[in-house]
Amino acid sequence: MPPETGSVQDSGNGISDKEILIGSSLALGGHAGYLGTQMIQGAMSYLIHINQQGGVHGRNIRLVVMDDGYNPSQCLYNTQQLILEKKVFALFCYVGTPTTVRIIPLINEAGIPLVGMFTGAQRLRQPVNPFLINIRASYYQETQAAVDLIVKRKGLTRVAVFYQYDEYGFDGLRGTEIALKNHDLVPVAKGSYVRGTLDVEAGLTQIVRSDAQAVVMIGTYDSCAKFIRLARQQNFTPLFHNVSFVGSKELARRLGPDGEGVIVTQVVPPPSSDPAREDLPGVKEYVRLLNRYYPDSRASFVGLEGYINAKILVEGLERSGRNLTRQSFIRAIKSVNDFDLGIKNRLSFGPNDNQGLDQVYYTVIRNGNLVLLP
């Protein structure tokens, strides 16, 4: 469905003299609650910081956050409420592939921009939709990097895929298969589980039977942690490779010693909990602001992503000026080019590029901590 722009955005678009209303539906509880919480804290750290400095062009940014519990139906309902009842100006910081994919029709119908999704799903990137503003690298890029690492650097050819049986998992599976195909390989086994459950045993059995040398895992931290633990109990120890959505800190925490050697690709550099030891200025600022506004929280990859999302949102609003419309906002975001986030890799959008960052980082769990793979 082609995006309907211009027809509805001027009435009740969430902009008042003092305030810009931004809506967000994400998992604050349930099995993916960690992701949403981390993300919103990272984002809020920066937004509170901006509001305290007087907001953007004299307007404070108010975030309306609704919990969808990683449930697509709930996410859809929330989004309808945000657009119809709350009349937010833009949507922001959605978490998860099935949830975000579910609301694409609403975004198109309402012509409302969505900035920063914690998902690398291809559906949000191709075909290019002007309302969807991606910031992080895609799952295709992450799985490509994973396969490159497994096949090229480790020289392993027997690769299995373990995935969540929904949009997110399918997306990762496709990416892995495409990447393997470039090496003339196919997955030796595929195992899956249903979202929101921990029923990983059937998938594990299939993968164990295939005697895979490496397993690319596209799932959430709870299921993947269980899978790895159960595998180790069976003395099945291939190279476990997760993608960023897994929530690496939580994964590492849950696995404990079992997590040793598990690789996780990241789309942002790993933040260290102590700002003094941080090299990158952007990460340093994130840790600083998080520690100020959420002293109980610890810096994480997901949080850093939320923080970066907030920075881009603010940058877009800044560039749009005082006479803000959804269209001018989208144009402003698209004009962001070679933008320094202070994380070494610069951010760029383009007319046909609705994804700001392309960098993928390899991290490995060492003693319960995630460190960059040398």
Partner 1 sequence: MTPFSHLTLKNKIFISCLGVTLLVSIIIALFTRSLLISSLTRELKNRGIGIAQSIADSSRVFILTDNRAELTSLAYDARYGNRKDLVKYLIISDNSGNMLAHTFTTGFVGPIKTIVKQQPVNDVSIKNLEMGPHWVFHITVPVTEGIYTIGSIQMGLDKQHIDNLIAQLRWIFLSFLSMVTLIFFFLSHRLALFITRPIASLIRYTDLLTQGNFDIIDSQSFQTLKHEIKTRNDEISKLTDSFIKMTARLRDSTRSLKDSQKKYRSLFKSGPNPIFVVEKTTFDILDANPNATELFGYTRQELVRMTLFDLGDLDTASVEGEPFNPETRVHRSKVRFFKKNGDAVFVNIHTSPAEYAKEDVIIVGTTDITELVEKDSQLIQASKMANLEKMSAGIAHEINQPLNAIKMGSEYLCMIYEKKQTVPPENLNMVITEISSQVTRAAEIVSRLKSFSRKVDFSRELVNVNTCILSVHKIIGRQITLQNIDLSLELDKKIAPILAHNNRLEQVLFNLITNARDAINERIETMNLTDPGKIIIKTFSINDHVGIDIEDNGTGIDPAITESIFESFYTTKPMGEGLGLGLPIIKGIVKDYNGTIAVSSRPGRGTVFKILFPAYTGSHFSKELITP
Measured in whole angstroms, the distance separating CA 233 from the mean position of its chain's CA atoms is 30
Determine which residue in the list 11, 53, 323, 367 makes contact with partner 1, applying CB under 8 A. 11
Determine which residue in the list 3, 33, 77, 335 makes contact with partner 1, applying CB under 8 A. 77
Task: Check residue 194 for interaction with partner 1 (CB under 8 A).
Answer: no
Distance in Å, CB of 243 to partner 1, minimum = 26
Distance in Å, CB of 95 to partner 1, minimum = 16
- CB closer to partner 1 out of 109 and 148: 109
Q: How many residues bind partner 1 (CB under 8 A)?
A: 20
Helices and strands of the chain, counted as H and E runs: 12, 12
Determine which residue in the list 76, 178, 230, 336 makes contact with partner 1, applying CB under 8 A. 76
User: Of all helices (H) and strands (E), which one includes residue 265?
Assistant: strand 263-266
Task: Check residue 15 for interaction with partner 1 (CB under 8 A).
Answer: no
Task: Using the structure block, give the residue that is written with the tokens 């907030």.
Answer: 310
Distance in Å, CB of 106 to partner 1, minimum = 5
Distance CA 5, CA 24 (A): 21
Task: Check residue 255 for interaction with partner 1 (CB under 8 A).
Answer: no
Is residue 338 classed as helix, strand or coil in its secondary structure?
A: coil
Distance CA 94, CA 43 (A): 11
Task: Check residue 74 for interaction with partner 1 (CB under 8 A).
Answer: yes
Distance in Å, CB of 19 to partner 1, minimum = 20
Give buried/exposed letters for 218-237 (b at 16+ CB in 10 A, else e): bbbbbbbbbbbbbbbeeebe
- Six-digit token pair at 344? 């070494």
Distance CA 126, CA 129 (A): 7
Distance in Å, CB of 86 to partner 1, minimum = 12
Sheet strands (E) in 98-202: 114-118, 132-133, 159-164, 189-193
Stretch that binds partner 1, among 98-106, 147-155, 252-260, 338-346 (CB under 8 A): 98-106
Task: Check residue 165 for interaction with partner 1 (CB under 8 A).
Answer: no
Is 152 buried (19+), middle (13-18) or exposed (0-12) by CB count in 10 A? exposed
Which parts of this chain interact with partner 1 (CB under 8 A)? 1, 8, 11-12, 68, 71-74, 76-78, 80, 83-84, 102, 105-106, 109-110
